[in-house]
């Protein structure tokens, strides 16, 4: 399929989706978000893909929701047509791991979209911020909810109320991103990370992702029970048979298609 606002590549079992509106710093609009939903769902169902990378350009992951598109919206357009809810959150339904790779600006709705990825790898030029207050709105895609969970209430309030951007080092120190690489190397390094995951059994990767996400929804005791069900069920799967046999036979496991 041809996309107007995305670039797509595959590297073995890793799919790379690149946000691509260079003239607008990858500002997120309806068309891009619709296309993103199609691309993500397509790869989620593609047996040839185990891991998805979501990224932007060297200058911007995304500088927020498209202010030019939003400026004249009224309440009927946003509430009535479920702006954001109608097409921004497809990523939350994706079962395979989604790694966000962030270079340059990652602001507003862009930061909210990044936080919907399973984990983030940053280039050393990444800048994260939630400057919505400056354009007269609250965040609308989870910024006030996911940011305090990711980096603490105090840091989140600071970013949300003052619009201060944090750099990659502060983002890593506070837990928003898991790794930092030099900008020129970040995609190559992220691909290595993704390819490592892609060699694991995709069924187990999906279960781990599901369990971790439940940690945000369930009390601890329920979350542990939830995890235990997958663990027990794992003993009826080819992935467990192959993984444990390979360990005992001192060979590399072959998880292809598991």
Catalytic (active-site) positions? 65, 109, 112, 132
Q: Is the dihedral of CA 33, 38, 41, 42 positive or negative?
A: negative
C-alpha angle 206/90/70, rounded to 5°? 150
Report the length, in residues, of the chain: 258
133 near ligand DAK, rule: CB under 6 A: no
Burial of 189 (0-12, 13-18, 19+ CB in 10 A): middle
Q: In angstroms, what is the minimal distance from the CB of 63 to ligand DAK?
A: 3
Q: In angstroms, what is the minimal distance from the CB of 82 to ligand DAK?
A: 9
Across the beta sheet with 60-62, the strand order is 60-62, 105-107, 127-129, 166-167
Helix axis angle, 202-214 relative to 220-234, nearest 10°? 170
Q: Which is nearer to ligand DAK, 97 or 129 (CB)?
A: 129
DSSP 8-state symbol, 28 = B
68 near ligand DAK, rule: CB under 6 A: yes
Residues of span 8-37 touching ligand DAK by CB under 6 A: 24-25, 27
- When binding is defined by CB under 6 A, the residue of 97, 100, 108, 142 that contacts ligand DAK is 108
66 near ligand DAK, rule: CB under 6 A: yes
- When binding is defined by CB under 6 A, the residue of 84, 197, 208, 258 that contacts ligand DAK is 84
141 near ligand DAK, rule: CB under 6 A: yes
193 sits in which H/E element: helix 186-198
Binding site for ligand DAK (CB under 6 A): 24-25, 27, 63-68, 78, 83-84, 105, 107-109, 131-132, 134-135, 137, 139-141
């Amino acid at each position: 399929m041809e996309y107007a606002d995305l670039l797509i590549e595959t590297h073995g079992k890793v799919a790379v989706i690149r946000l691509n509106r260079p003239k607008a710093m990858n500002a997120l609009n309806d068309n891009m978000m619709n296309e993103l939903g199609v691309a993500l769902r397509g790869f989620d169902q593609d047996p040839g893909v185990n891991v998805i990378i979501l990224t932007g350009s060297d200058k911007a992951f995304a500088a927020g929701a498209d202010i030019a598109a939003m400026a004249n919206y009224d309440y009927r357009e946003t509430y009535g047509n479920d702006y954001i809810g109608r097409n921004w959150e497809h990523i939350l339904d994706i079962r395979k791991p989604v790694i966000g790779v962030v270079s340059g600006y990652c602001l507003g709705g862009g930061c909210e979209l990044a936080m919907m990825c399973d984990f983030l790898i940053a280039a050393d030029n990444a800048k994260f911020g939630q400057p919505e207050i400056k354009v007269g709105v609250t965040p609308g895609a989870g910024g006030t909810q996911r940011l305090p969970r990711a980096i603490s209430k105090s840091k989140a309030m600071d970013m949300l109320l003052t619009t201060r951007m944090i750099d990659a080092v502060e983002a890593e120190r506070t837990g928003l991103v898991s790794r930092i690489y030099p900008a020129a190397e970040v995609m190559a390094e992220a691909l290595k990370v993704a390819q490592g995951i892609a060699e694991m059994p995709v069924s187990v990767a999906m279960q781990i992702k599901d369990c971790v996400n439940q940690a945000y929804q369930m009390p601890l005791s329920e979350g542990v029970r939830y995890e235990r069900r997958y663990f027990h069920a794992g003993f009826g799967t080819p992935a467990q048979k192959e993984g444990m046999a390979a360990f005992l036979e001192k060979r590399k496991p072959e998880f292809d298609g598991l």
